[in-house]
């Protein structure tokens, strides 16, 4: 524990953590839930972390998805999660014990509309989430709710081809309307789509598209993103009609800000152009129109995005209220090795990496927050930040100073950004309770302050155990970021 150089957090700052229903809830056979995109990803044994990352970006074939839906041989960890569906009362009390002011989670679309295309919601699911949100409020925890965190009903992939199909827009709008009608008086902060720009890396999870469903995959993926942005604008419009000024509708991106490999003009310009493609998603949702650089990008590649006049009216009149970002690492661009594509980057030789190859760069968070604030001047929620590591239980304890050290350095940079004018209103450490990893389907890739006794193949008691970092973060919150 040390004193922060930048202890500038406002008194009403929302300290907390974040997870996703798809990685935590489990109970995939209960209360009428349907399968979603996360539920058909099996745990694959004996693979290196590098190979796991390769498979993540490769996507899934439609035939593989259909087979996985019927598979009874392999283990599908996200179907079971950490059983948060049943354990949330006790788990939330553990979070409150750290002094949590906020907690971000999602309400599983495939639990509320099991196939996605139903006309009426599953009321049992709504009742469950109503109790969960009440439990948060009773503990003084402000809910931040994500409408879709990689939980697109798998029927939308198989029957409709995923989000590129415009028929999905009214389905999601119906879902969003249902959530606002049920929970709008209890929940202030709503993130419509988790990491909307991750379509560049995780197309199957992001927009429910299989690798072999469209001849021009890139065109289909950007059409899917357009459809998501239109649906988000409609939800924002509906929220305004409720005459509840407390409701805030936001968008979320995974920060993809890159550095140039050198001061060579080719490196600097390519990096700038790549970064603009990262800002594309937020440019549209905060400014209400497609920038010329994006139009040129699509034209150069022959991508024809079906954009209707009514879409642009919605986007122009319904800007998002806040920006949520996840931040784990920064990127680097070398013009001699990389091209003008958003995910084409190089390793930064000046940065150390986690066991999963993610570059550790605390100052990158200061850079990202400053860039977003300068560009939009919209309130910012840090919706995810953390490091996946292997934890070892020794005599019933977990000494995870590496986690506290990582978070300490990043939290200090948040204070620095606030000092320089950025309006950051919340900090959500990712996975405060160990959950199934999104990218690798592993339990052994742990982020939490709270250990869950469960291994990669689902074995274990599920018992919760407080790590050293639990007490460290409790003091960070108690001191409002002065002691980190």
> Is 1 inside a domain boundary?
no
> Is 128 inside a domain boundary?
yes
Q: What are the tens digits of pLDDT across the range 424-433?
A: 999 999 999 9
> Is 6 inside a domain boundary?
no
Quote the domain boundaries for residue 259: 14-478
> Is 4 inside a domain boundary?
no
> Is 443 inside a domain boundary?
yes
Write down the pLDDT at residue 56: 63
Write down the pLDDT at residue 57: 63
Pairing of strands 450-452, 464-466: antiparallel
> Is 9 inside a domain boundary?
no
Q: How many domains does the chain have?
A: 1
CB–CB of 191/250 below 8 Å?
Answer: yes
Write down the pLDDT at residue 200: 86
Write down the pLDDT at residue 140: 98
Write down the pLDDT at residue 133: 98
3-state secondary structure of 350: coil
> Is 307 inside a domain boundary?
yes
> Is 483 inside a domain boundary?
no
SS3 content of the chain, % helix, strand, coil (to 5): 45, 15, 40
Write down the pLDDT at residue 269: 98
DSSP-assigned letters across all residues of 271-305: HHHHHHHHHHHHHHHHHSS--HHHHHHHHHHT---
Write down the pLDDT at residue 343: 85
Write down the pLDDT at residue 52: 72
Task: Report the Cα–Cα distance between both ends of the chain, in Å, rounded.
Answer: 5
CATH code, domain carrying 339: 3.20.20.80
pTM: 0.96
Write down the pLDDT at residue 256: 86
Q: Which residues of the chain have pLDDT under 50?
A: none
């Amino acid at each position: 524990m040390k004193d922060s150089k930048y202890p500038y957090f406002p008194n009403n700052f929302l300290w907390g953590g974040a997870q996703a229903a798809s990685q935590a809830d489990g109970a995939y056979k209960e209360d009428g839930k349907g399968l979603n995109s996360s539920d058909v990803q099996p745990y694959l044994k004996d693979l290196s972390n590098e190979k796991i990352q390769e498979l993540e970006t490769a996507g899934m074939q439609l035939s593989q998805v259909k087979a996985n839906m019927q598979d009874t041989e392999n283990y599908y960890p996200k179907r079971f999660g950490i059983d948060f569906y049943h354990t949330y009362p006790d788990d939330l009390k553990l979070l409150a014990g750290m002094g949590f002011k906020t907690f971000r989670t999602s309400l599983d679309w495939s639990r509320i509309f099991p196939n996605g295309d139903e006309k009426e919601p599953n009321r049992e699911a709504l009742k469950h989430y109503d109790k969960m949100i009440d439990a948060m409020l009773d503990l003084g925890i402000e809910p931040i709710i994500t409408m879709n965190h990689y939980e697109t009903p798998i029927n939308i992939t198989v029957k409709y081809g995923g989000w590129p199909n415009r028929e999905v827009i009214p389905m999601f709008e119906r879902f969003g309307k249902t959530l606002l009608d049920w929970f709008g008086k209890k929940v202030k902060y709503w993130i419509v789509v988790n990491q909307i720009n991750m379509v560049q890396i995780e197309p199957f999870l992001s927009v429910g598209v299989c690798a072999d469903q469209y001849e021009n995959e890139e065109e289909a993926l950007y059409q899917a993103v357009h459809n998501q942005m239109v649906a988000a604008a409609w939800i924002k419009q509906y929220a305004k009609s409720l005459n509840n000024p407390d409701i805030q509708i936001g968008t979320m991106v995974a920060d993809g800000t890159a550095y140039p490999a050198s001061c060579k003009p080719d490196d600097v310009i390519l990096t700038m152009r790549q970064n603009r493609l990262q800002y594309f998603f937020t440019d549209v949702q905060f400014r209400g129109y497609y920038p010329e650089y994006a139009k040129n990008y699509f034209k150069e590649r022959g991508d024809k995005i079906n954009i209707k006049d009514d879409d642009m009216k919605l986007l122009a009149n319904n800007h998002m209220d806040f920006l949520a970002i996840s931040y784990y690492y920064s990127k680097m661009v070398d013009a001699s090795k990389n091209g003008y594509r958003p995910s084409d980057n190089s390793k930064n030789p000046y940065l150390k990496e986690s066991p999963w190859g993610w570059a550790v760069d605390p100052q990158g968070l200061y850079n990202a927050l400053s860039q977003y604030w300068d560009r939009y001047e919209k309130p910012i929620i840090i919706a995810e930040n953390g490091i996946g590591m292997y934890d070892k239980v020794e005599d019933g304890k977990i000494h995870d100073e590496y986690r506290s050290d990582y978070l300490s350095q990043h939290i200090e940079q948040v204070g620095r950004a606030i000092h320089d004018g950025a309006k950051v209103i919340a900090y959500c450490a990712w996975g405060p309770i160990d959950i199934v990893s999104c990218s690798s389907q592993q339990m052994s890739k742990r982020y939490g302050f709270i250990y869950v006794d469960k291994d990669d193949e689902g074995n274990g008691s599920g018992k919760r155990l407080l790590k050293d970092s639990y007490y460290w973060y409790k003091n960070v919150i108690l001191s409002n970021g002065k002691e980190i």
